[in-house]
Structure 1
Amino acid sequence: MDADKLLQAVSGSAPQSRWHGNRISGSIRRARSGRHGVHLHCCLQTEEKRHHDSKSCKATFLTETRGRDSKTYTLDSQGHLLLQQESRSDTRGGNSVLTGLKGFILPKGYPDTVTPDYLPFQLWAVPAHITGWMGTSLATSSLLKAVGVANSAEGAAAASAAIKWITKDGIGAAGRSLVGGRLGDVFDEDPRRWRMVAEAFLTVGLALEIATAFSPTNFVLLAGAGNLSRAAGRGMTNPSFRIIQTHFAAANNIGDVAAKEEVWEVTAQLVGLAGSVGLLKAIEATGKPENVLYVWAVNQIAHAWLRYKSLAVLQFDNINQKRACLLARASVSGQALPGVQRGNKEESILAWPSLARPSLTFATSLEDMFSATASSSGIQDLCDMYTGQNYLLTWQSRRCRVILEEHASPEDILLAVWQAAWLDHKGVGDATKRELQASIDAVRKQGPAFIHELRRGGWQVGSVTIRTGQVRFKRHDEVDLAPIA
């Protein structure tokens, strides 16, 4: 929102905005959106009211912007947020649909996060994929005809079954699309965990497909659900493994690494196919076809264990939330920081990042950030305490909420994690103003050494893959206005 328009809204002359509080004199800093999305402008100013005692009082303005929408808050005498002004853009339903579609099919932060040739490539690649799948389906139909399916007495029924089979594959493709559209930005942080999640989906899908042999009447339902689950697993597998391949390519030789991966995989596929033929013959010789279920279960357990072991040997030198918490805990407790090899070994692959200690949450709005702040210290005091820091952090019920400053660096994120680990290590439940100030003093004193130790241990301090959300804030200096006579 333009600064002049916002000032008009504050004075009550802007019809498109709603003003909920008293008239405020003073200037409002420009609120803008950058490449990171939402920005919060924390503006400390002076509010001049004409009281009977002719005294002035200070007020803190916090402006939250979301695209063309904005909210302006101030504080009451108890330090609670009060919504003063709200401006909403006139967004039609069609535009909302287009915005949602853009977020579904384009990478987060587009176009700043991809190269200029990304969209032209996709516009040509999509019809290429369409014709490619059509060709595959027609070739499959020809193969069925060649083996005599279409020429049999039950040819019509077989053709109908082929159509159902293709439909089943279509349902699976839809599952992959949903995974890519909704989860596209989560794989970079923790590819090992998502690869194991994918393994779970693949296992469930295979189990449902095997169940078709025991319930042929429900073939379409079981096979469709199984293929959907497997497709979702593949949708998680592909991006996760691409991250792993990129990790392997130390000499920027991604193409060579990917090509050699094909050699490894095809060799394993041939051995696996030969082994499955031997197992099927052995099961057939027993005269008990139901034994396939038990053999598959044993094989799948071995497969999941081997997959886990293969992921456990990976050594990522970037810092995700779980590794950041592990490193910060070691630092505040006075222990030597684990290096890349030991850090990856100690990281719990299957654990969700939200389960790591200290518990770290990045605020989704001003109200979310400051919902419990007034009980420990006022928002005005909070802004004052964090002067010089590029983030704000609150600590309630042994959980922290963080909002990053507009130009916060990866090091600032790590310092916020360290401060949270310090509070957690001290056993603080709800941080008082004094405890919060002590944690800030500690991070200012020991934080630089923590960052230095990370670099010495081989960690890439500039490569932090913690999901910090879109909310940002910007601090302005306090402006004192002369009292109105």
Structure 2
Amino acid sequence: METSSPSYSEIILEEWNGSSSTKLSKTATITASPSLFIQRSGGRFNHVWRRVLQAFVPEASNSFSLGFPSSVTPDYVPFQVWDLLQGLSTYIRMMLSTQALLSAIGVGEKSATVIGATFQWFLRDLTGMLGGILFTFYQGSNLDSNAKMWRLVADLMNDLGMLMDLLSPLFPSAFVFIVCLGSLSRSFTGVASGATRAALTQHFALQNNAADISAKEGSQETVATMIGMALGMLLARVTTGHALSIWFCFLSLTMFHMYANYRAVRCLALTTLNPERSSIVFQYFMKTGQVLSPETVSKMEHVLPIWTTSSSSRSVKSMHMQVRLGARVSSLNHLELMDVLHSAGSHYKKAKYLLVEKKGIVSSILHKDSTSKDVLQSFFHALVMANLTDKNKSVHLESQSWMDKQYEVFIRKLRFSGWKTERLLSPSIMWKANWICGPLDAKID
């Protein structure tokens, strides 16, 4: 007995486009009834525009997640807008400074030699390379904990580097020194900007799409670079031979560049805890029992280097300056060592850290087996102790009592408000210790 396969009078096949399940759009409908018929949906321009947009905005890591803008944090778009504007001003000014540098080297002059220009350029690049290595050695561990501040410092150093290039033709006798100084300044920019950008990319990525965000930022910067170079070449051509116009354009663009950078970092609402942000949320919790959101704290924290702020505004949020993480045991005096030994056997038996207070400064000695959570706990414990130093109380007993009763509540409220409590972003801790508490002695290695 033969069985006939079912026949359909009409078959419809739809074509959809999009990298996210919530951002799909129908582009075509194919019908077989009885002949093949294709009906396009939407205009060709809309389809092309969507494809172009996908090259510049980050999508989710897989098609089952939300696409842009849900694939990034809310502060991504305003930060990128200001960041691209400051980048545009940089590329325009770069044409002016490069023109001045080439003129100083002797491009276009018959008396200039190729070997002389090559040697000068080599010294300039060598200085920059050595400067980058030294800057990484001394400040590399601080870049994560103060990403906002170092982002601003990096662009300020870039401005100084371009200023040196622009000044180089004015002082022929000191040309090599000036261009090497400018290269050294820009080398700091390369290290600090790259490192802080990596930290910000991780912050923006909500759906494990950090690589996509980094790639799309490269596309955005490429477009900004091309536009900036075109405008820069036009400006360089117009201002050639007019020193006053060159300096006016350069200084005006530099002021806009720093303003755009400041606005960019002010847009950021980082959810990771560093010493200053921890101090702000802790002080507010001690007063009200509530925890501030990352957005609120971002408006209160310093983004400029601490020495640029007034003493009055600095004192409000400087409690974190009273804490020293990773104190070196051998640097303590006799009385402090006795205090440490006593504390190890009484107050901190279960903790992976020891605290020592002297003249309002609380030093944290971390155990060699301490984890990132222990570092965070020791820092908040030190803040509690620093808060008690002016109240003539037993700081060890009172601070431990607060930690036993309030610390877990505080951490839960931090998580509920959107903070990441897995670790504290702090400079690298180079010194640790080990203590063994027995019935008769307490020993520190």
With the length of structure 1 as denominator, give the TM-score of the two structures: 0.61
Aligned twin of 1:448 = 408
User: Is the counterpart of residue 403 in structure 1 residue 365 in structure 2?
Assistant: yes
Determine if the alignment matches structure 1 residue 292 to structure 2 residue 252.
no
CA contact (8 A) 1:189 1:467 kept: yes
Which residue does the alignment assign to 1:422? 384
Looking at structure 1, the residues matched to 334 and 413 of structure 2 have their Cα atoms a distance apart, in angstroms, of: 35
Tell me, yes or no, if structure 1 residue 184 matches structure 2 residue 144.
Answer: no
Map Cα deviations across residues 238-267 of structure 1 (whole Å, 9 max, x no partner). 122122223333333333222211221122
Taking the aligned partners of 2:236 and 2:418, their CA distance within structure 1 comes to: 49
CA shift for structure 1 position 205: 1.4
- SS of the equivalent of 1:196 reads helix
Matched, 1:226 2:182: yes
| TM superposition shift of 1:303 | 0.3
State whether residues 345 and 437 of structure 2, in contact with CA within 8 Å, keep that contact through their aligned partners in structure 1.
no
- Distance of 1:217 and 1:350 partners within structure 2: 35
Report if aligned partners of 2:353, 2:378 keep a CA contact under 8 Å in 1: yes
Structure 2 unmatched ranges of 5 or more: 1-101, 308-313
Equivalent of 1:307 in 254, 261, 268: 261
Deviations 1:150-189 (A, max 9, x none): 9x9547x233213322332222122222223443322222
Q: Structure 2 CA distance, aligned partners of 1:180 and 1:378?
A: 34
- Give SS of 2:424's match: coil
Alignment identity in percent? 19
Q: In the alignment, which residue of structure 1 is the partner of 2:122?
A: 166
Q: Distance in 2 between matches of 1:206 and 1:320?
A: 32
Q: CA deviation at 1:226?
A: 1.0
Give runs of aligned pairs for residues 145-294 of structure 1, distance below 5 A: 154=111, 157-284=113-240, 288-294=242-248
Matches within 5 A, 1:17-416: 154=111, 157-284=113-240, 288-351=242-305, 356-358=318-320, 359-369=322-332, 373=336, 377=339, 379-381=341-343, 383-416=345-378
Size of the alignment, in residue pairs? 327
Change (3 A) 1:389 1:326: same
Deviations 1:272-324 (A, max 9, x none): 2233334334534xx64133223212211110111121122223222111111
User: What is the SS of the residue equivalent to 2:273?
Assistant: coil
Residue pair 1:451, 1:461 contacting (<8 A) in 2 also: yes
Number of the residue aligned with 2:395: 435
- Consecutive unaligned residues of structure 1, counting only runs of 5 or more, are 1-143
- What is the CA-CA distance between 1:469 and the residue it aligns to? 1.4
CA shift for structure 1 position 449: 0.8
Tell me what 2:60 maps to.
Answer: none
Superposed CA RMSD in Å reads 3.0
Preserved contact between residue 142 and residue 428 of structure 2 (Cα < 8 Å):
no
TM-score for both structures, normalised by structure 2: 0.66
Separation (CA, whole Å) in 1 of partners of 2:417 and 2:222: 37
Quote the Cα distance in structure 2 between the aligned partners of 1:397 and 1:294. Answer: 51
Kindly indicate whether the alpha-carbon contact (under 8 Å) linking 1:324 and 1:414 is maintained by their aligned counterparts in 2: no
